[in-house]
Amino acid sequence: MASRRRKLLKIIILGDSGFVNKKFSNQYKATIGADFLTKELQFEDRLFTLQIWDTAGQERFQSLGVAFYRGADCCVLTYDVNVMKSFENLNRWRDEFLLQASPSDPDNFPFILLGNKVDVDNGSSRVVSEKKAKAWCMSKGNIPYFETSAKDGTNVEEAFMCIAKNAIKNEPEEEMYVPDTIDMTNRAHSQTSSGCEC
Amino acid sequence: MDVIIDEEKWLAEGIASVQQNAFYMLRAVDSDNLREALKYSAQMLSELRTSKLSPHKYFELYMRAFDELRKLELFFKDESRHGVHVSDLYELVQHAGNVLPRLYLLCTVGSVYMKSKEVSCKDILKDLVEMCRAVQHPIRGLFLRSYLCQVTRDKLPDIGSEYKGVGDSVLDAVDFVLQNFMEMNKLWVRLQHQGPAQVAEKREKERNELRDLVGKNLHILSQIEGVDLEMYRDTVLPKILEQVVNSKDELAQHYLMDCIIQVFPDEYHLQTLDILLAACPQLQPTVDIKTVLSQLMERLSNYAASSTEVSDHSLALLVSSFDTICLLTMSILQVLPEFLQVEAFAKLNNAIGKVIEAQIDMPIVGAITLYTSLLMFTLRVHPDRLDYVDLVLGACVRKLSGKPKLEDSRATKQIIALLSAPLDKYNDAVTALTLSNYPCIMDYLDNDTNKVMAMVIIQNILKNYTCISTADQVEALFELIKGLIRDIDESPGDELDEEDFKEEQNSVARLIHMLYNDDPDEMLKIICTVQRHIMTGGQRRLPFTVPPLVFSALKVNSLVRRLQGQDGEADGEEAPASPKQIFRLMNQTIEALSSVPSPDLALRLYLQCAEAASDCDLEPIAYEFFTQAFILYEEDIADSKAQFTAIHLIIGTLQRMAVFGVENRDTLTHKATGYSAKLLKKADQCRAVYACSHLFWVDEQDGIKDGERVLLCLKRSLRIANAAQQMANVTRGSSGPVTLFVEILNKYLYFFEKGNPKVTSSAIQGLVELIRTEMQSETSTPDQGTTAFFNSTLRYIQFQKQKGGLMGEKYDPVKL
């Protein structure tokens, strides 16, 4: 019934290299908590609102944990093609996501991989080849792979389109929560808060 | 445990209720029923009114509601579906019964309202941030404001933002975030005063979990592009710091200072150092300010280092692309002068001084950590300013002065880091030697740590092949490593592991080899300096340190000789670095060793010096060294094995000495043969005596060739071999091995071939027959080794006979 309407997609970005903040800068600015942004996107005749949680690039400022992973529609993994360690960490990020978000079908959960900063030094400092990255994607159930440039955001749009396309393909039969027969009014009254009525 | 289980239960109930209400809410949304949607969303949000959950669990519940609200937000946006204009909707949601759900809904609509661009963002933001004051419960308030933060995040009026309407300015966005930050900080700090005192620890833990909600505001400020340096310096930073200082709360102050340093860019920090640093002494005394400052300095030094790297790199790029380089270098080259211009070092140094002064209770390790960070900063940013390095060390010395030696292991570890930093940076210990405060700090270390540090210095020198080339440097160096050179505080190093001790002293020995100067005069000074120091080392160290010194000194002699050769001077008598001088010094040095007592070692060194003196054509000195060696032999070498070895060393050296005139040589060879004949074991006697034969036959031009006395030696050794054989017969009833005879036979062959006329073919023939008889006698014990030795000797004679020519003729009379 709502399928023709605007579709909301929740996307989590994880990895050692952030990409939403794509402005070229050699200045380091830490992110606190997850950066939350929305983005509107038209794909075919459908309008999408993307709800993007970008945590990429830091772990230190996550004092409340990662409860926001839950309910994600897609997880975007990022690494820096110039830093081997960031590629090696991909497995850890993927496992961490599956563990914390606990999606209902972890084997088929949609991931996307972004190889970032391909433009740095015209690619001369690159250490992870496209072939290697694609091989990794293949081994994880054929994850779509995009290479992006930190400077101008090449392919970022394509990556989002891909997410939208995936979302349509995997559209479930509007899975809905069927309520138990609990008397809501009673419970609402028993709810006590510590002397404050706010 | 119960609490945790209960909490899980409450969370599960909360989630169930959120899901149930969300279901009805979405059903209402699908049927475009605004009234019902509002009703169920308010009920859903009521779950967030709970006081039973810890921040972590509350966050989980909050996230459930957050995700559902996004769907509601989409519905709100679509006026065509519910028919209510967003401005009316903004009024309508305020009818919700409870404050908390009402405000969540208001923020949600507010976000839609701003997105519609029908209203000034500034007004809505102001309204929302004020309205949220209604919730004063700390956890609920913090999450509500964090919601406000998140939904307005991408709609703040900023440079280039589509929401920057007429009359809205960046300043409105900044004011909004700052105000939200202040309110949140107050809620957060106030949380510590809630509830009974018994659960204070748990509460602090919870407060710590909530910190990123507050810090998030600072992150948003840093992301606003319109916050340029000027606005940051004049508005943003002072306001944040005012909050931080006034909160008078340890946790908040430490965390927020850290946040400021991490979220804002380096160049801002550099340009606002004064303001930031001035806040430090105003913080609570318990705040771990050293970590904060250390992180700041680390950031700044990384900044300086990365920009120099880039500039190196950009030079490389110059070849390929001229345009890029222009851009890059222009941005990069500004950085380092920037550090100088703002006097970053002076400011940091000053601030650290003030912090240490203000925080009287700061443990010494804290102060040292701060100085270490400052030193790292200096080394990376101003590698050319050794005076800065010394200044930091000096400040550290002042902090340490008047205190007893450090016992805190963390503090001593820090000091090692502090002192190692300049060594690692410059890879040149000589640089460290010029720092006047360096040794002062070493003095505050306990003996063990002092030694560790001394080893670090030595290893650094050895690793980098650093040449220490002046006596002054050597003096300074030995002052630094004195912990290894002598016992300090008269505490004998008994407890030290023997192996560790050896390793230490071997390192010192290797170090001595690294001290070198091409100029003999300076080198002599170096030698004298080292000698003075190592003489204080005591009997355990001298055997390690004297030999390298002696060999270093002998190197000077060859140096002098080479120079003399060049200048054509006959004698360097008057030069300060005359060989005589050096030999005199060596004599004293080795003497110390003989009293240690290490007579074997001393004897070897005397002989080494004697040979060197011979090379220098200094007969009396060579003679003196031999005399010393002989005295040692007579008085201090008692073990028969050691005596046997010593005799061979003496004979070997004496044989090579060309300097002696007949008289001296006779005296010495006479002594040597005398010693040989007096050895305890007959076999030793025999071998030493035949070795003496070489003293009379030097196979060089002008070498002594006294065939008569050679033969005497050989005959004498034969007699001794005979005597040994007879003694074996008497004592064991069997003759001993005939090895000695075979050995003597080989000596005969040697001199025979060298053309000693006294050694004849018949003598050889006789000796061969003698050996055959001995070997066949019934009493002899067959010995495989001897038989093989003899057989190969015979094969050699056979070979020489068959070779023909002169040698063949010479051997011809020998019949086998």
Reported confidence tier of residue A27, pLDDT bands at 50, 70, 90:
low
CB-CB neighbors (< 8 A) of B251 in chain A: none
- Flag whether pLDDT at B789 surpasses 70: yes
| Mean pLDDT to the nearest integer, B413-437 | 87
The alpha carbon dihedral of B101, B106, B111, B112 has a sign of positive
Three-class HEC string of B28-76: HHHCCCHHHHHHHHHHHHHHHHCCCCCHHHHHHHHHHHHHHHHHHHHHH
Q: Residue B379 corresponds to which tokens in the numbers above?
A: 């080394």
| Mean pLDDT to the nearest integer, B462-469 | 88
Residue B629 counted as domain residue: no
Q: Which domain holds residue A61?
A: 7-190
Residue B470 counted as domain residue: no
Instruction: Select the highest-mean-pLDDT range: A17-21, B390-394, B589-593.
Output: B390-394
- How far apart CA B677 and CA B686 sit, in angstroms, is 8
Q: Least CB-CB distance to B265: which of A29, A177, A188?
A: A29
- Flag whether pLDDT at B112 surpasses 60: yes
- Flag whether pLDDT at B140 surpasses 90: yes
Question: Out of A33-47, B269-283, B659-673, which region has the weakest mean confidence (pLDDT)?
Answer: A33-47
* Residue-wise DSSP of chain A: --TTS-EEEEEEEEESS--SS-S---------S-EEEEEEEEETTEEEEEEEEE-TT-SSS-TT-SGGGTT-SEEEEEEETT-HHHHHTHHHHHHHHHHHH--S-GGG--EEEEEE-TTGGGGTT--S-HHHHHHHHHHTT---EEE--TTT-TTHHHHHHHHHHHHHHT--S---PPPP---HHHHHHH---SS---
Ramachandran category for residue B700: left, alpha or beta (phi over 0 → left; psi -120 to 50 → alpha): beta
Is the Cβ–Cβ distance between B203 and B209 less than 8 Å? no
The pLDDT of residue A189 is 44
Same domain, B106 and B126: no
- Flag whether pLDDT at B324 surpasses 70: no
Is the Cβ–Cβ distance between A19 and A148 less than 8 Å? yes
Residue B143 counted as domain residue: yes
Where is pLDDT greater, at B510 or B588? Answer: B510
Where is pLDDT greater, at B87 or B335? Answer: B87
Same domain, B342 and B291: yes
Reported confidence tier of residue A193, pLDDT bands at 50, 70, 90:
very low
- Which H/E stretch holds residue B638? none
- Flag whether pLDDT at A68 surpasses 70: yes
Residue of A nearest to B29 (CA): A2
The pLDDT of residue A197 is 58
Reported confidence tier of residue B312, pLDDT bands at 50, 70, 90:
very low
Ramachandran category for residue B167: left, alpha or beta (phi over 0 → left; psi -120 to 50 → alpha): left
The length of chain B is 816
Residue among B46, B41, B52, B44 nearest B9 (CA):
B52
- Inter-chain CB pairs, A–B, below 8 Å: 135
Residue B80 counted as domain residue: yes
Residue A195 counted as domain residue: no
* Residue-wise DSSP of B155-181: GS--TT-TT--TT--HHHHHHHHHHHH
Residue of A nearest to B213 (CA): A33
Question: Out of A71-85, B35-49, B799-813, which region has the weakest mean confidence (pLDDT)?
Answer: B799-813
Query: How many degrees, rounded to 5, is the angle at CA B530 between CA B526 and CA B535?
Result: 150
- How far apart CA B578 and CA A83 sit, in angstroms, is 62
- How far apart CA B115 and CA B709 sit, in angstroms, is 119
Residue of A nearest to B52 (CA): A193
The pLDDT of residue A180 is 53
Q: Residue A88 corresponds to which tokens in the numbers above?
A: 């090696």
- Flag whether pLDDT at A24 surpasses 50: no
Residue among B168, B166, B254, B184 nearest B220 (CA):
B184
Residue of A nearest to B216 (CA): A32
CB-CB neighbors (< 8 A) of A51 in chain B: 70
CB-CB neighbors (< 8 A) of B41 in chain A: none
Cis peptide before B597 (omega within 30 of 0): yes
Q: Which of residues 446-465 of B touch A (CB under 8 A)?
A: none
Same domain, B248 and B210: yes
Crossing angle between the packed helical segments B579-594 and B538-567, to the nearest 10 degrees: 160
Using the Cβ of B78 and the Cβ atoms of chain A, whether some distance falls under 8 Å is answered with yes
Give chain B's largest Cα–Cα span. Answer: 138
| Mean pLDDT to the nearest integer, B588-606 | 85
Parallel, antiparallel, or unpaired: how do β-strands A74-80 and A111-116 relate? parallel
Same domain, B15 and B80: yes
- How far apart CA A93 and CA B562 sit, in angstroms, is 69
Q: Which of residues 222-281 of B touch A (CB under 8 A)?
A: 222-223, 259, 262-267
- Flag whether pLDDT at A1 surpasses 70: no
Parallel, antiparallel, or unpaired: how do β-strands A74-80 and A7-15 relate? parallel
Report the gap between the CA of A174 and the closest CA in chain B (Å): 12
Using DSSP's 3-state secondary structure scheme, residue B705 falls into: strand
Reported confidence tier of residue B565, pLDDT bands at 50, 70, 90:
low
Is the Cβ–Cβ distance between B565 and B591 less than 8 Å? no
| Mean pLDDT to the nearest integer, B685-689 | 93
- Flag whether pLDDT at B582 surpasses 80: yes
- CATH code of the domain covering residue B756: 1.25.40.660
Q: Which of B375, B409, B443 is the last residue of a domain?
A: B409
Q: Residue B491 corresponds to which tokens in the numbers above?
A: 């505490």
Residue type (1 letter), B309: E
Q: Which of B259, B284, B318 is the last residue of a domain?
A: B259
Same domain, B73 and B170: no
Reported confidence tier of residue B286, pLDDT bands at 50, 70, 90:
confident
The pLDDT of residue B490 is 55
Using the Cβ of B123 and the Cβ atoms of chain A, whether some distance falls under 8 Å is answered with no
Residue B582 counted as domain residue: no
Same domain, B146 and B115: no
Number of neighbouring beta carbons within 10 Å of residue B27? 15
Report the gap between the CA of B267 and the closest CA in chain A (Å): 9
Residue of A nearest to B304 (CA): A27
Same domain, B271 and B405: yes
The alpha carbon dihedral of B291, B292, B295, B300 has a sign of negative
Same domain, B102 and B233: no
Report the gap between the CA of B353 and the closest CA in chain A (Å): 28
CB-CB neighbors (< 8 A) of A26 in chain B: 306, 310
Is the Cβ–Cβ distance between A82 and A120 less than 8 Å? yes
- Which H/E stretch holds residue B477? helix B471-480
Question: Out of B128-142, B330-344, B553-567, which region has the weakest mean confidence (pLDDT)?
Answer: B330-344
Using DSSP's 3-state secondary structure scheme, residue B468 falls into: strand
Report the gap between the CA of B178 and the closest CA in chain A (Å): 16
Same domain, B87 and B180: no
Q: In B733-760, which ranges are continuous DSSP H helix?
A: 739-753
* Residue carrying the six token digits 């290490």: B598
Is the Cβ–Cβ distance between A122 and A82 less than 8 Å? no
Q: Which of B409, B425, B440 is the last residue of a domain?
A: B409
- Cβ <8 Å between A65 and B59: yes
Residue among B548, B540, B551, B554 nearest B598 (CA):
B540
Report the gap between the CA of A194 and the closest CA in chain B (Å): 7
Query: Integer distance in angstroms from the first to the last C-alpha of chain A?
Result: 36
| Mean pLDDT to the nearest integer, B471-478 | 91
Give the list of residues 6+ apart from residue B418 with CB closer than 8 angstroms, or none. Answer: B368, B371, B372, B375, B393, B396, B441
| Mean pLDDT to the nearest integer, B341-369 | 82
Segment B377-417, tens digit of pLDDT? 888 888 888 888 999 999 888 888 877 777 778 888 888 88
Residue B634 counted as domain residue: no
Give the CA count within 13 Å in the CB-facing half-sphere of B769: 8
Specify the number of domains making up chain B.
4
Using the Cβ of B51 and the Cβ atoms of chain A, whether some distance falls under 8 Å is answered with yes
Using DSSP's 3-state secondary structure scheme, residue B515 falls into: strand
Residue A120 counted as domain residue: yes
- How far apart CA B357 and CA B350 sit, in angstroms, is 11
Query: How many degrees, rounded to 5, is the angle at CA B347 between CA B344 and CA B349?
Result: 105
Same domain, B254 and B274: no
- Which H/E stretch holds residue B536? none
Residue of A nearest to B317 (CA): A121
- How far apart CA B804 and CA B812 sit, in angstroms, is 9
The pLDDT of residue A3 is 44
The length of chain A is 198
The pLDDT of residue B457 is 92
- How far apart CA B608 and CA B109 sit, in angstroms, is 98
Where is pLDDT greater, at B186 or B155? Answer: B186
* Helix, strand, coil abundance in chain B, percent, nearest 5: 80, 0, 20
Reported confidence tier of residue B780, pLDDT bands at 50, 70, 90:
low
Same domain, B278 and B348: yes
Q: Which of residues 30-89 of A touch B (CB under 8 A)?
A: 30-33, 35-38, 49, 51, 60-65, 67-68, 70-71
Residue of A nearest to B299 (CA): A28
The pLDDT of residue B686 is 93
The whole-angstrom distance between residue A24's C-alpha and the CA centroid of its chain comes to 21
Ramachandran category for residue B157: left, alpha or beta (phi over 0 → left; psi -120 to 50 → alpha): beta
Report the gap between the CA of A69 and the closest CA in chain B (Å): 9
- How far apart CA B342 and CA B277 sit, in angstroms, is 13
Q: Which of residues 168-197 of A touch B (CB under 8 A)?
A: 176-180, 182, 184, 187-188, 191, 193-194, 196-197
Segment B628-675, tens digit of pLDDT? 999 999 998 888 899 999 999 999 999 988 888 888 989 999 999 999
- CATH code of the domain covering residue A162: 3.40.50.300
The pLDDT of residue B622 is 92
- Flag whether pLDDT at B573 surpasses 80: no
Is the Cβ–Cβ distance between B155 and B115 less than 8 Å? yes
Is the Cβ–Cβ distance between B774 and B744 less than 8 Å? no
Q: Which domain holds residue B15?
A: 1-119
Instruction: Select the highest-mean-pLDDT range: B566-575, B660-669, B721-730.
Output: B660-669
Same domain, B247 and B300: no
The pLDDT of residue A48 is 87
The pLDDT of residue B627 is 93
| Mean pLDDT to the nearest integer, B274-283 | 88
> CA dist B258 to B35, B138, B177, B336, Å?
46, 22, 19, 24
Specify the number of domains making up chain A.
1
Using DSSP's 3-state secondary structure scheme, residue B697 falls into: strand
Segment B514-531, tens digit of pLDDT? 888 888 888 889 999 999
| Mean pLDDT to the nearest integer, A133-146 | 93
For chain B, what percent of residues have pLDDT higher than 70?
Answer: 91
* Long-range contact set of residues A164-171: C-beta below 8 Å, sequence gap at least 24: A164/A7, A164/A9, A164/A41, A164/A43, A164/A46, A164/A48, A164/A50, A165/A43, A166/A74, A166/A110, A167/A7, A167/A9, A167/A48, A167/A73, A167/A74, A167/A110, A168/A43, A168/A44, A168/A46, A170/A110, A171/A3
Residue B761 counted as domain residue: yes
pLDDT mean across residues, chain B: 86
Residue among A126, A121, A116, A22 nearest A82 (CA):
A126
Q: Residue B730 corresponds to which tokens in the numbers above?
A: 């008497």
- Flag whether pLDDT at A121 surpasses 90: no
